[in-house]
Amino acid sequence: MAFCYIFLIVALAQIIYRIIKTPRLYKEQYSVILVILLGCVIGNGIFLIQNDVLDLSVIVYGFAGVLIYYFAVDFLPHKLKLDMGTMILTKMNSAFIFFDMDGNCIFANNMASSLFKYHSKGNSLKNFLKIIGDDNLSADNQRILEIKGEKGTMYFLMGYQRFNDNRQRYLGCFFRLDDVTEETKEQERQMYLATHDSLTGVYNEDTFYREARIAIDNNPQTPYSLATTNIYQFKLMNDILGKEVGDQLLKDIAMIIDSFNGPGIIYGRLESDKFAICSPSNLKLVELIQNKIDEHLAELRKNKNISLVIFNQCGVYEIQERNISISTMCDRATMALYATKGDVEHKINYYTTELFNRMVLENELLAEMPKALKEKQFVIYFQPQVDSRTGKIVGAEALVRWKHPQKGMIPPGVFIPLLERTGNIYELDCYVWAAACQAAKKLHDLGYDVPLSVNISPRDIYSADICQVIFGLVDKHKIEPRNLNLEVTESAVIKDLTRMNNIISRFREKGFHIEMDDFGSGYSSLNTLKDIQVDVLKLDMRFLDSIKGSERGEKILAAIIALAKSIEAPTIAEGVEDKETVDFLARLGCHNLQGYFYSKPIPYDDLLKMLDSYEIGALE
Ligand code: C2E
Ligand code: CA
Ligand code: CA
C-alpha cells in the first residue's frame, strides 16, 4: 500500500515538474493527466473514508486509465500536428487562405494578411475574389495573378483547390499565392531585351518583322506602306562628332518616330542608322517623319557647328504583294532608298517595278563584268571634237560601250554609275585607258596627230597610284603624254582637293593635259579654278541649257569662257546638237565643239574615215 502511495507521489511530482518546465501544449497535456490522477486520488480518498459507498474503483480506474492513455499517447501528436501545421502555414512565404463550404474564411496566414490586408475574421470568399479581380475560378489550376498595390504591380502564382469528402460533397477550398514578382519582372526584362533594341528602346529587327506581319494581316482592307530610313553620311558624322553624339541622334530619331505612334503603326530599328516603319498608307507618315528628322538634323548641324552634309532619306514600298515576307518588303524599301542614296533632291524614293528591274539588271551586269572584261565585250567609241571656225578635228573623246552578247549594245549611262557606286569602275577604266593608248598609237603611226581624251572616274584616284598606271601605259604603248588627255570631273576635284591637286601636278609635270569635265555642273566652279590647275574646261551644253535664251545666263557663260581664256585654258563645249548652238557659242568665243552636230561617238574605223576627210588642228 505504502509502495503505491510512494509511486503515486513520485508520479505526481514528475507530472508537476513537467507542467512547470515544458511548453504550453505539453503543460495542457500533463495538466489534464494531473487532474485525472488527482480525481482518482480524491475518489479513492472518498471511497476509503466512506466504506458504504458502492465500489466503483475498477470502473473509475479503468476510465481514468483510458483517459490518461488518450492524453498521453493520442491527444498530443494530434494537437501537435495541428498546431505545427498551422504554425508552418502561418509563417510560410506564400499566402494561404482557407474557406469553408459556405465561403467563410477560416484561415488566412500572415502573408495573406500583409499582402492583401485580408484576415480570416469575418471575411468571405466573395471579398477575396474581389481583391484578386477574378470571379471565374476553375478548380485545380495555376495561373499568374497581377495585382496593383501600394508597392506597384505585384505578380502571384495562384493555386486554387477544392476539397470534397469521399462522397464528393464539397467541404471547402483553399488558395495558395506565391509572390513571383521578382521572377516575373526579371522574365519581362529578359523578354524586353530579347525583343527591343537596347540603344533606342524600339522594336529590334525580328520583333519588327513579327509585329508588322501581324498588323498587316489584321488589317486586310487597309493599304499599307513599309519605309526604311537612312542618314546620309551617318558614319562620317560619327567619326567627326564621336559615338556618343551618333548614339544620341539615333535615340532622338527613335523618339521622333515614336511621337507618331498610333493604331496599326509598327516601327523598329533594323541596324545602325536604319529604322523601319510599317503604317497605313493614308497616314502619309513617311513624309511627316522625314521632315521632322531633317529639322532635327539641321538643328544638330547648327548646334555642333559642322558643315558636313547630313540628311535623312527614306525608301518606301507601297505594299502590293501582302504575302511576301516583311524582310523582302524592307529590302524593296531599301532598294528604293539606295537608288537615290546621297541625292539631296530625292529624300523619299518609292519602290517601283522598273526600279526592281533596273536593280536586277544591275546585279546581272555586276556579276557578268569580269567575264565581259576577259572576253573584250567592252568596245571603245570615239567622239570627235571640232573647231567650228576651221572645221578641223582637234581631238576625240574615248567613250566606252558594252557589246553584250544577249542584251545588245549597252550605253555607259547604265553601267558606269553602277560600277562607280560599287567600286568596280577602276578595272574598266584601266581597260579603256589601255585601249585608248593602243588607238592613239595606231593613229600616230598612221600619221594622224590627234589627241584622245579618256575619262578618269572620281573613284579611280583612290584605287591605286593612277599616275604610275597611266605613265606605265603610255610607256608601254610608246605614245607621248600630249596624245592622251585626261578628263577629271569637277565633283572629284572638290571631294578631295589636296589629293587631286597632287595627282594633277604629277600628270602635268609629265606633259599630260588635264581637262575639267562637266564644268559648270557643280556648285563651286570658280573656287575650283582658283585651287586647281587644269588645261581645258569642258562645258556640258546639257547642263547649260537653261542659259540659252536668258540674257543674264548668256552673260555668265560669256564670262566663264573669257575667264577660261584669261587663265589660258581653252574651252570645249559638249553636247552641241545644232547649228544654232554652234553660232551661239561662236558669239561667246567658244569654238571647240563636241556633239551630235558633228558626229555621235563612232567606232575606231569610222573615226579613221572621218580623219581622212577632215583636217587635223590644234586645240586653241
Ligand atoms: P561624258 O564624259 O560627259 O561624255 C559625254 C557624253 O555626252 C557621252 O555620253 C556622249 O555620247 C554624250 N554626247 C555627246 N554629244 C552629245 C549631243 O550632242 N547630245 C547628247 N544628247 N549627248 C551627247 P555617253 O557616251 O553615253 O557617256 C556617258 C557618260 O559615261 C560620260 O559622260 C562619262 O561620264 C561616262 N563614261 C563614258 N565612257 C567612260 C569611261 O570609259 N570611263 C568612265 N569613267 N566614264 C565613262
Ligand atoms: Ca568626259
Ligand atoms: Ca562631259
Query: Rg of the Cα trace of the chain?
Result: 48
Q: 515 C-alpha to center of ligand 2: Å?
A: 9
Q: 113 C-alpha to center of ligand 2: Å?
A: 88
pLDDT higher than threshold 70 for residue 135: no
pLDDT on residue 525: 64
pLDDT on residue 556: 84
Contact 570, 606 (CB under 8 A): no
Atom 20 of ligand 1, residue of closest alpha carbon: 575
Atom 33 of ligand 1, residue of closest alpha carbon: 455
Using one digit for the tens of pLDDT, what is the confidence trace for 139-173?
556 788 888 877 788 888 888 888 898 999 999 98
Residues lining ligand 3 (ion), CB within 5 A? 517-518, 540, 574
Q: 399 C-alpha to center of ligand 1: Å?
A: 6
Least confident of 193-207, 392-406, 481-495: 481-495
pLDDT on residue 139: 54
Ligand with smallest separation from the Cα of 435: 1
Q: Model pTM greater than 0.75?
A: no
Please report the beta strands in 192-318, taking only residues with DSSP state E, as ranges in sequence order.
224-232, 266-271, 274-280, 311-318
Residues with CB under 6 A from ligand 1: 383, 399-400, 411-413, 416, 425, 429, 432, 455, 457, 517-518, 540, 574-577, 594-596, 601
Atom 35 of ligand 1, residue of closest alpha carbon: 412
Q: 262 C-alpha to center of ligand 3: Å?
A: 50
pLDDT on residue 487: 97
Contact 161, 140 (CB under 8 A): yes
521 vs 482, residue with greater confidence? 482
Probe target for ligand 1 pocket from 381, 388, 397, 399, with the most ligand atoms within 8 Å of CB: 399
Q: 517 C-alpha to center of ligand 3: Å?
A: 5
Give residue for cell 533594323.
270
pLDDT on residue 398: 98
Give residue for cell 505526481.
12
Contact 541, 575 (CB under 8 A): yes
Q: List 485's β-bridge partners, or say none.
A: 453
Atom 12 of ligand 1, residue of closest alpha carbon: 575
Q: List 592's β-bridge partners, or say none.
A: 387, 572
Give residue for cell 533594341.
197
Nearest to 224 by CA among 290, 320, 313, 291: 320
pLDDT higher than threshold 90 for residue 217: yes
Share of the chain above pLDDT 70, in %: 97
Ligand with smallest separation from the Cα of 518: 3
Using one digit for the tens of pLDDT, what is the confidence trace for 333-375?
999 998 888 888 889 999 999 999 988 898 999 999 999 999 9
Q: 470 C-alpha to center of ligand 1: Å?
A: 21
Ligand with smallest separation from the Cα of 412: 1
Which amino acid, residue 478? K
Q: 548 C-alpha to center of ligand 2: Å?
A: 22
Report helix, strand and coil shares of the chain as percent, to nearest 5.
50, 20, 25
Non-local (6+) Cβ contacts of 83 within 8 A are 25
- What's the grid cell of residue 241? 562628332
Probe target for ligand 1 pocket from 380, 403, 543, 574, with the most ligand atoms within 8 Å of CB: 574
Q: List 486's β-bridge partners, or say none.
A: 454, 514
Q: Could you give the CA distance from residue 73 to residue 96 in angstroms, rounded to a whole number?
A: 31
516 vs 44, residue with greater confidence? 516
pLDDT on residue 475: 97
Nearest to 115 by CA among 105, 126, 128: 128
Q: Could you give the CA distance from residue 97 to residue 112 in angstroms, rounded to a whole number?
A: 7
- Among the atoms of ligand 1, which is closest to the Cα of residue 399? 38
| Residue 27 pLDDT grade (very low, low, confident, very high; cuts 50, 70, 90) | confident
Q: Could you give the CA distance from residue 86 to residue 68 in angstroms, rounded to a whole number?
A: 26
Q: 329 C-alpha to center of ligand 2: Å?
A: 38
Q: List 514's β-bridge partners, or say none.
A: 486
| Residue 1 pLDDT grade (very low, low, confident, very high; cuts 50, 70, 90) | low
H-helix or E-strand spanning residue 510: helix 497-510
Q: 390 C-alpha to center of ligand 3: Å?
A: 23
Probe target for ligand 1 pocket from 377, 455, 593, with the most ligand atoms within 8 Å of CB: 455
| Residue 53 pLDDT grade (very low, low, confident, very high; cuts 50, 70, 90) | low
Helices 425-446 & 466-476 angle (0-180, nearest 10): 30
Using one digit for the tens of pLDDT, what is the confidence trace for 469-492?
999 999 999 999 999 999 998 877
Q: Could you give the CA distance from residue 620 to residue 570 in angstroms, rounded to a whole number?
A: 6
